[in-house]
Amino acid sequence: MTWDYLIVGAGFAGTVLAERLASQCGARCLVVDRRDHVGGNAHDHYDAAGVLLHTYGPHYFRTNSQRIIDYLSQFTEWHPVDYQILSWTHGRFWQFPINLNTFEQLLDRASTEEEMASTLAEWRLPILEPKNSEEVILSQVGHRLYEMFFENYTRKQWRREPSQLDASVCGRIPIRTNRDDRYLSEKFQALPKEGYSAMFARMLRHPNIEVRLGADYRAERANIKFKHLIYTGPIDEYFDHCYGPLPYRSLRFESETLDQEFFQPAMQVNYPNDHDYTRIVELKHATGQKLPVTTIVREYPEDFGPGKEPYYPVPAPDARKLYERYAALADVEKGVSFVGRLATYRYYNMDQVVGMALAEFEKLKAALPANAWPETSVQAVPAVEL
Ligand code: FAD
Ligand code: UDP
């Protein structure tokens, strides 16, 4: 048979498009993913001890978009969380992101918003338009706090100087003079109540959608007939690295189950200056699971290479220049949509990827002739256990 859409990747980008095209247009969608599960990097699972873990690092859902909340709420209920993290350096835990509590820890006495604001005004460097991740922090808090919390964490995570990364990388982290101690600032912060994998399974459970797991597009494409391709994998791989490989950062996750209810005082502790790992995540704090045991995950940044996952595009001018050459090829590639974090080489959060996929859906739908697939409004496709 000829599929209306072949969708490469069952992460947020591919899944949202499959769900929309199948349910709203009656299109027949084949989703392939080379991993053995759906959800992409947002996949979660229960480990041997019964602890719910985010398989590829902590995925804290947050958004300011009511449209995206409404869309995903068709497939999940939510467990609200105020994501809270700490930073460990100089032999103690610090409130992080930097706020009035952090400032009081630094002074070792009580303070006020006014005192913090006037002190930061003295400490910060007069950089009006920060051009990189070093400048964006120095322009807000000056050298002392930059060196304590940002400089070495960023070097460890990216194996680059902060000055060689876009301002948006460290600029993601809020800096506050009040006592708001949430890691993120978006108005909606919650996890899918039964986990991401359950949500993805619901999104893909449609008679017009077939999912093939452990299936690599490059190996399968010769045997699949389709009208339009939706590609959510790495863009340089799609074009056989013809301009050379794009840089990515990879990670190694080491988990440890402990016979105690909790290991650390917060869901996530960052280690800017100690150890080879950047953070220890104890997701149980966020999921609210009640168990006598716990599992922690240490996250080690690694270079990308054979056998490694391309977790992070590198937000930097040199990488963007190379990406733009690939983007120019993508622009003239007929019958293909490039969607998602890897296909558009953007350090995007989940909600931004959902937004991008919904926008692409509107574009594809608008381009369809009226009543595009009258004969195929519901196709019997074998159900897949996801
Ligand atoms: P992906 O989830 O990467 O999905 C792409 C899929 O395509 C993959 O499953 C891959 O196997 C498949 N694929 C690629 N090539 C092929 C091929 N040739 N054949 C078959 N399949 C292929 N976002 C947040 O909002 N909050 C967070 O807290 C957060 N934390 C994160 C932590 C880490 C460590 C990482 C890496 C990311 C984090 N993100 C977070 C970002 C989030 O993971 C992404 O925004 C989102 O998952 C991207 O979805 P996607 O569909 O674009 O890509
Ligand atoms: N960062 C840092 N110190 C920290 C936390 C973050 O320097 O304690 C910097 C680092 O460069 C990191 C970026 O801010 O890559 C974004 O952090 P975030 O926690 O959002 O990273 P993610 O969860 O996307 O890996």
C-beta of 281 in contact with ligand 1 (< 6 A): no
Q: Could you list the residue range(s) of the whole structural domain that residue 358 is in? A: 2-44+191-245+312-367
**Its pTM surpasses 0.85:** yes
219 touches 6 (CB < 8 A): no
- Within-domain flag for 140: yes
369 — pLDDT class (breaks 50, 70, 90): confident
Query: Are residue 158 and residue 209 in the same domain, yes or no?
Result: no
Query: Are residue 161 and residue 111 in the same domain, yes or no?
Result: yes
Residue whose Cα lies nearest atom 2 of ligand 2: it is 150
C-beta of 268 in contact with ligand 2 (< 6 A): no
- Within-domain flag for 317: yes
| Phi, psi of 331, rounded to the nearest 5 degrees | -60, -35
DSSP, collapsed to helix, strand or coil, labels residue 52 as: strand
pLDDT at residue 382, as a whole number: 41
d(CA 355, CA 167): 23
Domain boundary among 112, 137, 171: 171
Query: Are residue 17 and residue 95 in the same domain, yes or no?
Result: no
- Within-domain flag for 374: no
Query: Are residue 36 and residue 89 in the same domain, yes or no?
Result: no
Query: Are residue 125 and residue 97 in the same domain, yes or no?
Result: yes
358 has pLDDT over 90: yes
Between strands 78-80 and 188-192, the pairing is antiparallel
Query: Are residue 31 and residue 157 in the same domain, yes or no?
Result: no
d(CA 366, CA 383): 29
Q: How many domains does the chain have?
A: 2
- Within-domain flag for 273: no
Q: Residues 20-35: what's their mean pLDDT?
A: 98
- Within-domain flag for 271: no
The whole-angstrom distance between residue 323's C-alpha and the CA centroid of its chain comes to 19
Query: Are residue 153 and residue 204 in the same domain, yes or no?
Result: no
d(CA 213, CA 99): 45
- Within-domain flag for 340: yes
For residue 313, give the ligand nearest its CA: 1
Query: Are residue 163 and residue 238 in the same domain, yes or no?
Result: no
Residues comprising the chain, all counted: 386
Centre of ligand 1 from the C-alpha of residue 251, in Å: 13
381 has pLDDT over 50: no
d(CA 322, CA 317): 9
CATH number of the domain that residue 36 is part of: 3.40.50.720
What is the maximal distance between C-alpha atoms in the chain? Answer: 73
Query: Are residue 135 and residue 221 in the same domain, yes or no?
Result: no
pLDDT at residue 380, as a whole number: 40
Pocket test for ligand 2, best of 172, 175, 185 (most atoms within 8 A of CB): 172
Query: Are residue 127 and residue 95 in the same domain, yes or no?
Result: yes
User: What are the tens digits of pLDDT across the range 239-277?
Assistant: 999 999 999 999 999 999 999 999 999 999 999 999 999
Centre of ligand 2 from the C-alpha of residue 149, in Å: 10
- Within-domain flag for 231: yes
C-beta of 57 in contact with ligand 1 (< 6 A): yes
Query: Are residue 126 and residue 196 in the same domain, yes or no?
Result: no
User: What are the tens digits of pLDDT across the range 294-340?
Assistant: 999 999 999 999 999 999 999 999 999 999 999 999 999 999 999 99
Record the tokens describing residue 6, joined without a space.
Answer: 């072949």
- Within-domain flag for 284: no
- CB proximity list for 7: less than 8 A, separation 6 or greater: 14, 17, 18, 29, 30, 31, 32, 229, 230, 232
C-beta of 87 in contact with ligand 2 (< 6 A): yes
Query: Are residue 110 and residue 166 in the same domain, yes or no?
Result: yes
